[in-house]
Amino acid sequence: MRRDRKQILLSFEAWLDRVLAEEEPPEGLPSEILARLSTESPHSTEGSCDLYSMWSQMTALVQEVKLQGRSFKQLSDAVAPVADLAPRLVELEREAQTKARREVLEMFLDLRDRMVRGLGTARKSLVRLEGLSPRGWRSKMLGRESLRENARETAVALEKGYALSLDRLDEVLHQLEVTEIPCQGRPFDPRYMQAVDLEETNQVPEGTVVEVYRVGYEWKGQTFRLAQVKVSRSPAGRAAGEQEPGNASREHDARRPARLM
């Protein structure tokens, strides 16, 4: 039986060698590789890998995977706050735009206050110069008339410059939906006004705004800046329990409406 088994193995080996010898090499392989395969011994140990080398490489690969996993976790922890802010990005952008516009509006309004004061000063100077008249031949001889005319022309130029700049600034504020709060001659309203002074008079009803120290403004229908005003009161004296002007001002500040954020 051993002889039959051996005979069968030899026959199978011979058949396998015959089949492989007749098989054509696969297409696409370079001839150098085919020649090298045909000349190399099938029992060559070059490039072989033992069990120790394989486990060494596997250990190194595991350590590399662990390092990459730790680095990825650190990266995830670092970007987690940004990911949490993602749903609020639109809201944060809107808040930043509102804050930036508010700062720009505050600068525009401060510039407008300065220009209004400059325009008022130029007009007062012009009126004062118009009231001056030459005083005889001495003024003409000393050239005072020419000086007065030069000063008048300068005041007129300043008035026109302030007026043109103020008109342009008012157009910009109108485009930004900023409107002035009318106060002069109206009843005091703590939602839009802040009383900084009192005046005893019988000319107007008590609680009427008689003078505006600083103009107030609304932005998109909400109070942007309170107007600082002087309010009238009855000259009959302070009633019992009536507060001083400074206390009244602080009370109005406490009732001041919330500004835009």
Residue 254: band (very low, low, confident or very high) from pLDDT cuts 50, 70, 90 = very low
- Higher per-residue confidence, 136 vs 112: 112
Greater confidence, 191 or 143? 191
User: How high is the pLDDT of residue 9?
Assistant: 83
Mean pLDDT calculated for residue range 8-32 = 74
Give Cβ neighbours of residue 117 (< 8 Å, ≥ 6 apart). none
Dihedral (C-alpha) 128, 198, 213, 157: value to the nearest 10 degrees?
-10
Between CA 87 and CA 89 the distance in angstroms is 6
Q: Residue 259's pLDDT is what?
A: 41
Q: What are 222's two structure tokens? A: 């909400």
Enter the pTM of the model: 0.52
Rg of the chain taking only CA atoms, in angstroms: 48
Q: Helix %, strand %, coil % for the chain, to 5?
A: 60, 15, 25
> pLDDT tens digits, residue range 85-118?
777 778 888 888 889 989 999 999 999 999 999 9
pLDDT attached to residue 23: 61
Average pLDDT, the chain: 79
The answer, yes or no, to whether residue 42 has pLDDT greater than 80, is: no
Taking the C-alpha atoms of residue 59 and residue 67, their distance in angstroms, rounded to an integer, is: 13
Compute the average pLDDT of residues 199-210.
Answer: 91
> What is the C-alpha separation between 194 and 255, in angstroms, rounded?
10
- Please give the backbone phi and psi of residue 116, each rounded to the nearest 5 degrees, phi first: -65, -45
Give residue 25's pLDDT.
Answer: 66
**pLDDT tier at 239 (50, 70, 90 boundaries)?**
very low
Beta strands in the chain (DSSP E): 178-181, 193-200, 209-214, 216-219, 222-225, 227-233
pLDDT at 7: 84
Q: What is the pLDDT of residues 145-193, one digit of tens each?
A: 677 778 888 888 989 999 999 999 999 999 989 999 999 999 999 999 9
Q: What is the reported pLDDT for 169?
A: 92
To which residue do tokens 């996993």 refer? 69
**Would you state the pLDDT for residue 228?**
93
The label of the residue with tokens 């490039």 reads 47
Residue 60: pLDDT band (50, 70, 90) is confident
Of 20, 162, 176, 37, give the one whose Cα is nearest residue 98.
176
Rounded percentage of the chain residues whose pLDDT exceeds 90: 31
β-bridge partners, 198? 231
Q: Which residue has the higher pLDDT, 124 or 43?
A: 124
In this predicted model, which residue has the larger pLDDT, 194 or 2?
194
pLDDT at 58 over 70: yes
**Is the pLDDT at 211 greater than 80, yes or no?**
yes
> What tokens appear for 191 in the block?
């939602």
Distance CA 68, CA 141 (A): 97
Which one, of 196, 206, 211, lies nearest residue 237 by Cα?
206
The residue type found at 89 is L
Question: What is the C-alpha to C-alpha distance for residues 162 and 156, in angstroms, rounded to an integer?
Answer: 10
Q: Quick check: 36 pLDDT over 60? A: yes
Residue with tokens 């009633």: 239
User: What is the dotted CATH code of the domain comprising 179-254?
Assistant: 2.30.22.10
CA distance 9 to 28: 34
